[in-house]
Amino acid sequence: MSEFEFDKEEFKKNVVNAVKSRYRKTIDEADKQQVFQAVAYTVKDYIIDRWIATHKEFEKQDAKTVYYMSMEFLMGRALGNNMINLTCYKGVKEALDELGFDLNAIEDEEPDAALGNGGLGRLAACFLDSLSSLGYPAYGCGIRYRYGMFAQKIVDGYQKEIPDDWLRDGNPFEIKRPEYAVTVKFGGYVRSYTDADYHEHYVQEAYQSVRAVPYDLPVVGYNNNVVNTLRIWDAEPIQQFNLDEFDKGDYQKAVEQENLAKNICEVLYPCDDHYAGKELRLKQQYFFVSASVQSAVAKYKKNHDDIRKLHEKVCFQLNDTHPTVTVAELMRILMDEKGLSWDEAWGVTTKCCAYTNHTIMAEALEKWPIDLFQKLLPRIYQIIEEINRRFVNEVKRMYPDNQEKIAKMAILYDGQVKMANLAIVAGYSVNGVAALHTEILEKQELKDFYEMMPEKFNNKTNGITQRRFLLHGNPLLADWVTDKIGDGWITDLPKISGLVKYADDEKSRKEFMQIKRENKVRLAKYIKEHNDVEVNPDSIFDVQVKRLHEYKRQLLNILHVMYLYNKIKANPDMDFTPRTFIFGAKAAAGYRRAKLTIKLINSVSDVINNDKSINGKLKVVFIENYRVSNAEIIFAAADVSEQISTASKEASGTGNMKFMLNGAMTLGTMDGANVEIVKEVGEENAVIFGLSADEVIEYELNGGYNPLDIYNSDEEIRRVLNQLVDGTYSPADHELFRDLYNALLYDGVADRYFILKDFRSYAEAQEKIEAKYRDKDGWAKSVMLNTARSGKFSSDRTIEEYVRDIWHLEKVKVEL
Ligand code: 26V
C-alpha cells in the first residue's frame, strides 16, 4: 500500500490559515488550544476525502455492515490516533516544530472523549480501530453524552467527581447530520385495530417524542484509506417551543418534550458494577437503539426492496445487554412499519442480532421492573411478551413439568424483564470474552441456555489495538521494534514474535531496558507534575490501573503494601529492591466502599511517602483522573502488571494485554485472559498466585469460608488488619476504615472476594517478582518475551474471529 504523501509545507500553510480564519490571529499569537483546533481541522480535511471514498465503495460493493451497538465508546483523544493511522504523525510533528510548537503539548489540549466507564467501552473503541484497519464496513452506534465520565479530583485523599464538559471548546472531528434525524417515541398506549383484510395493526398513541440527531465521528483505518463511522445520537425537542400546543393549552406537553430531550443525553451513568432500575437509563437505551435501528433499516431500504433479506446486509452486535431492546425494536419496525408477519419478522431478527456477555457478576445483570418497562415502552413490551410466551412454550415442550427451567430462562419472570435472557433467546450468537469466561458461562451462569442451544455459544477472547497502545503510546519502543523486525507488526501483531530471538541478545536487552527506563522517567515527570511526589525511576514500577471494584482487589494490593511497610520498619537494613506502587482508578460515585478504598490508598501513601526513615525504599502513588490519555503513558512505564481479581470474576481484562505489549510482567490470578496470557508467554515469564476459579466457585457454593481462622493464626496479617482500625493511617478518626475491616472479617459473607485467603500466596508472589527483578538479565529477557509473545492479543485477531464466526463481512478496498 502506498504511504500517504504528506506535504509538510502545505500542512503548515493550512494550519496558519486555519488559525487566521477561525481566530483572526497570526500563528505566533495563537494559544495552544487554538493551534490544536487548527491542526485538528487540517487533519480532518485529509480524513474527509477518505471518508467519502469509503462510503462510495461500500455502496458500490453493496457490502454487509456490522452495527456495533454500545452504550459506551471510550475513545480517548482522536488527534494523535488519527495522525498515526493516516501515517502522518511524524510529518505533523516536524511541521509543528518548525512553527514553534511541541506536538505533545498540542495533543494535551484535546479532552478525552470519555464516553465510557472502563473495559467494555474501551473494547468498543479498539474494535472500531481494528474494523477500519482491516477494511470491514462498520458503524459504532451510541450516545453523544453531553457529560462523559466525570473527571476525578483527589481532595484530602478522597475522590471528588467533577463534571466532564468535554464539548466545551467544540469537537473538531464531529459532523452533525440533521438530514438523518429520526423520531423516537416514549410512553402513551397501544391502540390496535383490524383492517378490511383482517390484518391486525398496532399504533402507539398519546406518546411523547424526541428528535434523535446523529453526529458522526470518523474512525480512520491504518494506512488503508478506510474511514468508518462512529455515529452518536443527540436528543432535541421535536419543536423548540410549540406555540400551537401552547395555544391549545397544552403548554405542559411542550415543556415535557423539551425536558425529555434535555435529559436523555445529559450524562453517562458513571457505574459499571451495579444494575439499578433507573428509568432514565432505559430511556437512553431505547433512544439510541431505536434511532440506530431506524437509520440502519432506512439505509438498507435505499438500495434494496426486500426487507426479508435484511440479515444478508446488516448485523447488530449487542455490546452486553444494554442495547438488547434492539431485538424488539427491529421486530416492531418489521411488523408495524414494513408489514411483515410475526414469523417473517422473527426469522429476520434472529438472523440479525448477536450478543456479547461481559460479566458474570450477578449484580450487573440487567433486569427491569415490568411496570416501568411497560409504561415507558408499551409496544416494545407487547412484543417482548409475545417473544416470552412463545419461548416459554418451547421450554415446556422440551422440559415438561420443569418449573425451574422456566424460572431460570423466561424473559419475563418475577415482575421483571430479564435482558440477558432476551438477548440469548433472540440472538443467533452468544459469546464470552475470554476462554475461561466462556467456559464459566456454559458450565455455570448460562448452563440451562447452553444445554438448550449449544450451537449459539462461542468464545471471542478480547484484544487491544497495538496502534494506540504501542505505536502512539510508546513511540520509543515502537521505533525500536520496527528497527529490529520491520513495521509489519503494526497491522499484523503476531509478527512481533520476530523479537523472540533478541531476548537472548545482550545488547538488545540493554536497549529494551533503556527504553523502559526512559518511559519510567516520563511517568515520573508526570507524577511530579500532577502529584508533587518524587519517584525513583530505578525502583520497580508496580502498577494497578483499572476501575475500582471489590472484585478487582485493589484492597489486597494496598494491604500488602502496609505489610511490606511493617517489615521494612521492623528491619530497616533488610535487603529490599525499592518499589513504587502506582494506582489509578475511578470509583462509581455511589460506591462507598470503593471510595473508601481510594481514601485508604491515599492515606497509606501519605504516611509512607513522608517517612524519611525508610529511605525512599517504598513509595505509593495514586494517579488522579485515570483515563485513556494518561493510561498510554502509564502502560509504557510499568514493570509489573497487577491483575489480581478474585478468580472467576474478571471476564477478560484488557489492561493486562496493554501491559504485556509494553513489556511488563503479569502478577496475577488465573482469571479472565490472564490464563491465555500465561499460556502464550510461558509460566516462567509471569507470576501466578491464588485460588483457581474452580476453588472460588466451590467455596461460594458452600457459603464462603471463615477469614477469622486466618486472622487468628497469622500474626502479620492480623497486624495489618488491626492497623485499619487503630489510627495508624487515620490518626484523627480511628473508625474511618472500620467498614473495610468489617467487610474482611465480619460481614454477612465475610471476605467475599477471598482477600485474606489469597494474601499469603500474593505476598509470596511479590517476593518472586522481587527475586526475578534482581536478576537483571533474566528480567530483561522475560519482559522482552512478554512483548514478543503478545501477538494473540491484538483486537485485529479478535475482529477477524467475529467476522469469521458471527458477522461474515467482506473486506473493502478503498483507492483514492
Ligand atoms: C454494567 C452495568 C450495569 C448497570 C449499570 C451500568 C452498567 C454499565 C456497564 C456494565 C457492564 C460492565 C461489564 C464490563 O465492563 N465488563 C468488562 O468488559 C471488559 C471487556 O470485555 C472485560 O475485559 C472486563 O473483564 C469486564 O469486567
Per-residue model confidence (pLDDT) at position 1: 45
Q: Which grid cell is 384? A: 417482548
Task: Give the active site residue among 456, 509, 552, 579.
Answer: 552
Give the distance (Å) from ligand 1 centre to CA of residue 189: 33
Which atom of ligand 1 lies closest to the CA of 121? 15
Structural domains in the chain, sorted by start? 1-61+77-111 (no CATH), 466-691+760-793 (3.40.50.2000)
Give the distance (Å) from ligand 1 centre to CA of residue 116: 10
Q: What is the torsional sign of CA 76, 82, 87, 92?
A: negative
At residue 248 the predicted structure's pLDDT band, cuts being 50, 70 and 90, is low
Mean pLDDT of 28-36: 98
Reply yes or no on whether 358 is catalytic.
Answer: yes
Question: In this model, does residue 523 exceed pLDDT 70?
Answer: yes
Neighbours of 677 (CB within 10 A): 26
Per-residue model confidence (pLDDT) at position 337: 97
Q: What is the torsional sign of CA 16, 22, 28, 31?
A: negative
Q: Which of 69, 267, 272 gets mutated to test ligand 1 (max ligand atoms within 8 A of its CB)?
A: 272
Is there an atom of ligand 1 within 6 Å of 119 CB?
Answer: yes
Question: In this model, does residue 2 exceed pLDDT 60?
Answer: no
Mean pLDDT of 562-574: 96
Is there an atom of ligand 1 within 6 Å of 672 CB?
Answer: yes
Is there an atom of ligand 1 within 6 Å of 786 CB?
Answer: no
Of 763, 612, 733, 628, residue with least CA distance to 114 = 628
DSSP 194: E
Based on C-alpha coordinates, what's the Rg of the chain?
27
Residues 6+ apart with CB under 8 A from 208: 185, 186, 187, 188, 253, 256, 257, 260
H or E, element range at 763 = helix 755-774
What gap in Å lies between CA 77 and CA 585, rounded to an integer?
19
First to last CA, the chain: 12
At residue 533 the predicted structure's pLDDT band, cuts being 50, 70 and 90, is confident
Is there an atom of ligand 1 within 6 Å of 671 CB?
Answer: no
Residues 6+ apart with CB under 8 A from 226: 50, 54, 132, 133, 135, 220, 812, 814
At residue 240 the predicted structure's pLDDT band, cuts being 50, 70 and 90, is low
Q: Which of 6-20, 240-254, 346-360, 617-631 has the lowest mean pLDDT?
A: 240-254
Give the distance (Å) from ligand 1 centre to CA of residue 119: 6
Share of the chain above pLDDT 90, in %: 94
Reply yes or no on whether 56 is catalytic.
Answer: no
Give the distance (Å) from ligand 1 centre to CA of residue 455: 25
Which atom of ligand 1 lies closest to the CA of 433? 21
Atom 16 of ligand 1, nearest CA residue: 358
Q: Which of 273, 644, 646 gets mutated to test ligand 1 (max ligand atoms within 8 A of its CB)?
A: 273
Specify the pTM. Answer: 0.98
Q: Which grid cell is 109? A: 489540549
DSSP 805: I
Buried residues in 591-618 as b, exposed as e (16+ CB within 10 A): beebbbbbbbbbbbbebbbeeeebeebb
Of 443, 403, 52, residue with least CA distance to 216 = 52
CA geometry: angle 660, 661, 663, nearest 5 deg: 65
DSSP 689: -
Task: Give the active site residue among 12, 379, 595, 658.
Answer: 658
What gap in Å lies between CA 292 and CA 666, rounded to an integer?
40
**Contact present, 86 and 47 (Cβ < 8 Å):** yes
At residue 244 the predicted structure's pLDDT band, cuts being 50, 70 and 90, is low
Atom 20 of ligand 1, nearest CA residue: 120
Tell me what the pLDDT averaged over the chain comes to. 96
H or E, element range at 73 = strand 73-76
H or E, element range at 332 = helix 326-332
Q: Which of 358, 441, 799 gets mutated to test ligand 1 (max ligand atoms within 8 A of its CB)?
A: 358
Give the distance (Å) from ligand 1 centre to CA of residue 629: 20
Reply yes or no on whether 546 is catalytic.
Answer: yes
Reply yes or no on whether 658 is catalytic.
Answer: yes
Give the distance (Å) from ligand 1 centre to CA of residue 653: 10
Question: In this model, does residue 4 exceed pLDDT 80?
Answer: no
Is there an atom of ligand 1 within 6 Å of 123 CB?
Answer: yes
Is there an atom of ligand 1 within 6 Å of 237 CB?
Answer: no
What gap in Å lies between CA 133 and CA 128, rounded to an integer?
8
Share of the chain above pLDDT 70, in %: 98
Is there an atom of ligand 1 within 6 Å of 271 CB?
Answer: yes
Mean pLDDT of 320-344: 98
Model pLDDT for residues 594-608, shown as the tens digit of each residue: 999 999 999 999 999
Reply yes or no on whether 547 is catalytic.
Answer: yes
Task: Give the active site residue among 520, 547, 579, 789.
Answer: 547
Per-residue model confidence (pLDDT) at position 285: 98
